[in-house]
Amino acid sequence: MSTPDHPRPTATDEELRAALTSANIPTLLLVLAHLTGDDRWLADPYRPSRTIALHDNDTGGLAEQRQAEIRDAALAALGEVRDGQRAVPGPPPDDRIVEALSISLGEQVPPEYAAAMAEDGGFRKPAWLTTPPVGGDGPRVLVIGAGISGVCIGIALQHLGLPFSVIERNDAVGGTWLENDYPGAGVDTPSHLYSFSFAPRPQWSRYYPKQPEILDYVQGVARDAGLLPSIRFGTDVVSAEWDEASSTWQVCTRARDGGEGTEQRHVVDVVISAVGLFNQPEVPELPGLDTFGGSAFHTARWDHSVDLAGKRVGVIGTGATAMQVVPAIADDAGEVVVLQRSPQWVAPNANYLREVSDHTRLLMEQVPGYRTWYRLRLAWMMQDKLHPTLRKDPDWPHPQRSLNAANDKHRRFFTDYLDAQIEGAEQLRDAMLPDYPPYGKRILMDNDWFATIRRDDVELVASGVAAIEENAVLSADGERHEVDVLVLATGFSTRRMLFPMDIRGRSGVPLREQWGDDDAQAYLGMTVPDFPNLLLLYGPNTNLGHGGSAIFHAECQANYIVGLLRRMAARDIAALEVRPEVCDDYNARVDAAHEQMIWTHPGMTTYYRNAAGRVVTTTPWRLIDYWAMTRTPDLDDYLVTPAPQAQRRAG
């Protein structure tokens, strides 16, 4: 039997032998043990060394001869599978997954990950895509946004068989991956992890894909699922108002049809926001910005008509976006001036700029289980493994520079890396060495950053920006830097969630008023008191600060929302509103957990925190905690309004 995720090889022995020379040995051992059922591949002398940090540990630390034995055995087993002499076993039991993975990684993956990994790896389809449809009598749903979250929930609604439509302001699917098409745009999560559990892509061309390929993936998933006819493109949601009498949302949309826009009213039972976090570009209020005479644009609104050749380009900001833009434009531009307000911790990553070889792609495409096991290794290494190291140790004697012994070790490692990168240009050290603990701001992957900053035609100005003039940036140290083009890599208005939509709930109070300008709160990041039947994807406190795939969270949320919708349909429920005390209690727990985490380190300023210092965007939880919290909705958490027919029946 071959599961849909585990196709049979079709390659010849020669092709397979060649491809296996590129195999990641710890992954291949998992494949071999699973295919043959022989546990000797998970024991000495084949037991791989511990996988450390961001490295794949391709050799498993094994001598060449052992690696050759493993490849030979894999070739034999794969040939048998191809020739129909060996069946591909069904998925392993959940506990076996973590047991085998632990051996492959050289460290214990806690058993609590077993079920989540079975689903995330694609050994088993997620529950929300396998339970029977509800059918068309359930609630009518309107989804706002067709980015990754919107595509995910759209597919869930399609499976449920509920009447739904998606309203998307752009003219195509993709959300942030459509809008952020600046030079060098890409993702910091490995490609084989940054994909839906139910839609693997064995053909990724890079270990960290660039924007066009990610966009192609998201659009392909939407297209293949037949979602496009349900999406109304080029349309903004202007407002949504809860009508208590009918227990419906009255949603006003405006189509951007060239003129003033055609407004339309929609009456639906449930509204799901999937507008994303990085939705509204943050344009800083810099004195004189409007007097700049050259081209000035935000990275999320890149002006591709501007030819940078020979131009002096000022880039404001040194976050994840600038880290990608600056190396990507340095060759074209005449000069680049990088205006840094705060330095960032930068991590080396051998895979970051690496392309996936044809050999590896063949393994991903044809070797049963290879891409699944490879993904699960990443799922541990790149996600929750780091979380404990980001907790404050109250007894740690150096809280200024680090949080605990492990974080201090990371600090030393990244500092050594910085020193090695700027050797011979030590004058950069003061400017580039952060004074806060690593991971306090989002850690950045070295994208030739140091090499680019060291170029003669690139200048780092580390004093922040004081003002903009017609053809120059004035830095806070009083220096004047002439520029022809100004690029604002200044991030997003992440704390003004759901802006600028006007959303009013049961009491008529706008959500904007309830949350204030920067203090969004929701139960599980998804539901808000006084706003019945409003569900949020990528809402408050659901962004991943410690690393991990946002797509995993989107699937957790889809699972929870599907659970709620099923209950509404099955029990004739007209409205579900989270109880205020449940939401308050949850947020008190979020805040208390954050007090223990790095993101509340004194003095840290990030887009995670609001003016009062509360962490608003980022989750304090491990992915596995959130997965567990979003498995099964508990209707006791909600005020339930029965549908009129249910009320009549009860009466």
Q: Is 533 helix (H, G, I), strand (E, B) or coil?
A: coil
Name which of 77 and 316 has its Cβ closer to ligand NAP.
316
Contact, 227 vs 159, CB < 8 A?
A: no
Contact status: 489 vs ligand NAP (CB under 6 A): yes
Contact status: 186 vs ligand NAP (CB under 6 A): yes
Contact, 153 vs 143, CB < 8 A?
A: yes
Contacts of 413 (CB under 8 A, 6+ apart): none
Distance CA 314, CA 317 (A): 10
Closest approach, Cβ 380 to ligand NAP, in A, equals 20
The H or E element that residue 605 is part of is none
Closest approach, Cβ 376 to ligand NAP, in A, equals 21
Contact status: 190 vs ligand NAP (CB under 6 A): no
Name which of 284 and 516 has its Cβ closer to ligand NAP.
284
The H or E element that residue 555 is part of is helix 550-570
Distance CA 135, CA 374 (A): 37
Name which of 187 and 597 has its Cβ closer to ligand NAP.
187
Distance CA 550, CA 147 (A): 12
Distance CA 189, CA 449 (A): 18
Using CB under 6 A as the binding criterion, the count of chain residues that bind ligand NAP stands at 25
Name which of 89 and 284 has its Cβ closer to ligand NAP.
284
Only one residue has tokens 């392909």, namely 220
**Please, where are the H alpha helices in 392-478?**
405-421, 429-432, 449-453
The H or E element that residue 29 is part of is helix 25-36
Q: Which stretch binds ligand NAP (CB under 6 A): 312-320, 580-588, 592-600, 620-628?
A: 312-320
Closest approach, Cβ 441 to ligand NAP, in A, equals 6
Name which of 158 and 463 has its Cβ closer to ligand NAP.
463
Q: Which stretch binds ligand NAP (CB under 6 A): 89-97, 212-220, 400-408, 488-496?
A: 488-496
Contact, 577 vs 244, CB < 8 A?
A: no
Name which of 464 and 500 has its Cβ closer to ligand NAP.
464
Closest approach, Cβ 160 to ligand NAP, in A, equals 30
Distance CA 81, CA 90 (A): 13
Q: In angstroms, what is the C-alpha Rg of the chain?
A: 26
Q: Would strands 573-578 and 638-642 be described as parallel, antiparallel, or unpaired?
A: antiparallel
Name which of 124 and 201 has its Cβ closer to ligand NAP.
201
Which residue from 149, 324, 514, 527 is in contact with ligand NAP, where contact means CB under 6 A?
324
Q: Which stretch binds ligand NAP (CB under 6 A): 94-102, 313-321, 330-338, 385-393?
A: 313-321
Closest approach, Cβ 465 to ligand NAP, in A, equals 5
Contact status: 321 vs ligand NAP (CB under 6 A): yes
Exposure b/e, 609-642, CB count within 10 A at least 16 = b: bbeeebbbbbbbbbbbebbeebeebeeebbebbb
Specify which residues 635 forms β-bridges with: none
Q: Which stretch binds ligand NAP (CB under 6 A): 73-81, 146-154, 319-327, 370-378?
A: 319-327
Closest approach, Cβ 546 to ligand NAP, in A, equals 12
Q: DSSP string of 476-497?
A: TTS-EEE-SEEEE---B-TTST
What dihedral do alpha carbons 519, 522, 524, 525 form, nearest 10°? -60
Closest approach, Cβ 609 to ligand NAP, in A, equals 11
Q: Enumerate residues 582-611 that contact ligand NAP by CB under 6 A.
A: 605, 607
The region that residue 498 occupies, defined by phi over 0 for left and psi between -120 and 50 for alpha, beta otherwise, is left
**Please, where are the H alpha helices in 37-175?**
64-82, 94-105, 114-120, 148-160
Site string for ligand NAP, 268-297 (x = CB under 6 A): ----------x-----x-x-----------
Q: Which stretch binds ligand NAP (CB under 6 A): 3-11, 180-188, 257-265, 558-566?
A: 180-188
Contact status: 491 vs ligand NAP (CB under 6 A): yes
Which residue from 188, 335, 408, 637 is in contact with ligand NAP, where contact means CB under 6 A?
188
Q: Would strands 235-243 and 502-504 be described as parallel, antiparallel, or unpaired?
A: parallel
Contact status: 90 vs ligand NAP (CB under 6 A): no
Closest approach, Cβ 321 to ligand NAP, in A, equals 3
Closest approach, Cβ 187 to ligand NAP, in A, equals 4
Which residue from 154, 319, 434, 532 is in contact with ligand NAP, where contact means CB under 6 A?
319
What dihedral do alpha carbons 552, 556, 562, 568 form, nearest 10°? -160
Contact status: 320 vs ligand NAP (CB under 6 A): yes
Closest approach, Cβ 494 to ligand NAP, in A, equals 8
Closest approach, Cβ 316 to ligand NAP, in A, equals 5
Which residue from 26, 126, 139, 317 is in contact with ligand NAP, where contact means CB under 6 A?
317
Q: Would strands 235-243 and 248-255 be described as parallel, antiparallel, or unpaired?
A: antiparallel
Q: Of 542, 560, 520, 536, give the one whose Cα is nearest residue 623.
A: 542
Q: Which stretch binds ligand NAP (CB under 6 A): 57-65, 317-325, 381-389, 582-590?
A: 317-325
Binding site for ligand NAP (CB under 6 A): 186-188, 278, 284, 286, 316-322, 324, 341-342, 442, 464-465, 489-492, 605, 607
